Amino acid sequence: MSHKVSVFRKEHFNAAHRLHNPAWTEEKNILIFGKCNNPNYHGHNYDLIVKVVGEPDKQTGYLIDLKMLSDLIKENVLEKFDHKNLNLDVPEFKDLNPSAENIAIIIYNILRDKIDKSLELQIRLYETERNFVEYPAN
């Protein structure tokens, strides 16, 4: 049994995207991505839950100050993604399809560099209330 604690912070952003593979024909894109391939884009209210795992500090009782974690997410993720077109406005998706899976991996990579290496990190991203992903899997 672990003596570690997990803490979670929920944030959200609103963005447009389109699923598309430029190596494929238009027909194959429509076949695979359906309505999500609309060339004029569609959009979502993304809910993002960031999980951080480690040992709480004895002095504060905190694993990590959730206000600081929230600010970190706002500065590094929400500033880049909120009210944006993921395909056009976010360089990480220039050559990468903005599927929920890939968005979660990109957010993980952005935050992994900003959070102490002794702490484990996991991203849960809701594209809708019914479709969501986690990275890395546990």
Which residues of the shown chain bind a second copy in the complex (CB under 8 A)? 1-12, 14-17, 19, 21, 23-24, 32-36, 38, 40-45, 53, 56, 59-63, 65-67, 70, 82-85, 88-89, 96-102, 104-105, 120, 128-138
Compute the distance between CA of residue 19 and CA of residue 29 in angstroms, rounded to an integer: 8
Q: Cβ closer to a second copy: 35 or 94?
A: 35
Nearer to a second copy, 83 or 114 (CB): 83
17, 20, 36, 44: the catalytic one is 36
N-term to C-term CA, the chain:
15
83 is catalytic: yes
Residue type for position 71: D
**Maximum C-alpha span of the chain:** 60
Q: Closest approach of Cβ 57 to a second copy, in Å?
A: 9
Catalytic pick from 120, 127, 129, 134?
Answer: 127
Q: Are 43 and 82 in contact (CB under 8 A)?
A: no
The least CB distance from residue 51 to a second copy, in Å, is 8
Give the position of tokens 């990579």. Answer: 109
By beta-carbon proximity to a second copy, the closer residue of 76 and 134 is: 134
- Say whether 27 is catalytic: no
Catalytic residue among 83, 101, 129, 134: 83
Contact status, residue 7 vs residue 51, Cβ threshold 8 Å: yes
- 11 carries an active-site annotation: no
- Which residue is associated with the tokens 């839950």? 49
Tokens of 48: 């993002």
Residues taking part in catalysis:
36, 83, 127
